[in-house]
Structure 1
């Protein structure tokens, strides 16, 4: 069942691809002389070669997957035309523009060097430059060389193997074990409608939701597949998508405070998530992180506060904590307003 679910959705959300880009070569310059009636001593007339086509990447907010580049891996621009006689210059080749999702990181596959990070709509970057056209012999005419036969060939275009990696752009990222209620939370506070079910690994690709707090106040929340112990070494699905949390400004660690399975220890699971985060990326571990205790509606009301305090004490947690029920909406408003205030405060500090 797990493999079937994963393969079904893999085609819908592709966040990595490798492509080959090859810019066009410049056309060769020509060595030619005028041969016209009544002009017995026509001079050099060889034109320059045309410029080869270049390849660009363009960020497009209307695209949210790299799936096209899984099937179209080779992108080759045309060569420029060669120069001709009678002062005819070769025609330059058209450039190629590859439209990619905002958030795509483009790296040289051979060296790992980052070529571009597409962070805003309509951002355009050069991936491979087309070759310059060669010079025709008319450029070599001088008072001492009236019949030059020199010309230069066109320059070759650049050619690279590139790795594309999509990192979603979100202000807040959700992390936690499968079935912690992350998808239910993002459904409760935004218009996103990820799949929700009572079995693990329901989420198999990142979901983004716009959370509107007031008319002109909003932020983007990202839900990634749940992590399990050993995720940093490749277990489960979540490790593939942890990179999507790299751009977030705040992480919400969602914990199922009332697991139906009595053998599950929420404290041990919460610590395991923190350990996996640190193993995967220290910078991700250092990000601001709040604790969200979900499914509080399943706890006896008279014992709710006691159980939550015991959990926080056992976890050794000293940062902000919120107790919510995503399914009923209890505590969700307070959480979203606190997030909005925090993000605005951080933005104001950066502007100072």
Structure 2
């Protein structure tokens, strides 16, 4: 049955969540005519994505950078040309590829490629028009050719909003394919290479649109030749004093609720890893919870602490407002109360080789 983005909980109706075989997501299964599902969506801006970096987990690289050995060389060359026009941020390269493909006309009448012709090569250089599956496949291949993990996703577009019913109407014709790109620290993020569908918008923060400060007037040659020795000596002495002070005083850690939520979640992940629970870095917080829960059935306090930590961390990482201090304190108290079960989980891990 239908659900938006990543479903995490069924609130009503004869439905249930079923994890996919690889544990990367869940689907909604059931026969109800009416049901309510709570889904997890990302709220990101351009700065977060731009500075996410390119330190991809090995398991992500192994699976989502694969390309067929028979990929035509001109497809790889096109990917290099598009990447060379932008700064070296993966996010800007993704936008460049998306904009390039959104210039292709949308049509359902594109003839099929020849029996021995690569479909992406055919779309990019011969047909130069097509529907969503062509565009999504082309974007995925172009990004992978530049070392950016990407995958094709199929599902349904949002459809049309029915104001009388107060709901979206999603017909069979809304079946669609788009692209998700992996960003370290945030997971899979949606992009739309098909011109007939609106592209997701990740806003630039206001500071990114500021006008550059005016360039100061150049100094004369006589001024630049003078060395302000007194000022230079004062700067050296001041720097030495600051360095000495920093050696004696430690800068206090960030104690904001968002920072505390992030530290608590990181501590729980480390605890699970030490105890032998496989929670790779590429998993989202909800995926980490689903992966760990079967191992924590005998440790209810630790399971509760993990659930609360995931909730406040998601609030801190993906919402515009930070989590409340009370919610973070509740998660920290649950983590402290679970100290005995944390110890038991570690001891169980250490006893396994002897057993």
Q: Report the TM range for the smaller structure's normalisation.
A: under 0.3
Higher Rg? 1
Q: TM-score, normalised by structure 2?
A: 0.23
Q: Whose relative contact order is higher, 1 or 2, with alpha carbons under 8 Å and at least 6 apart?
A: 1
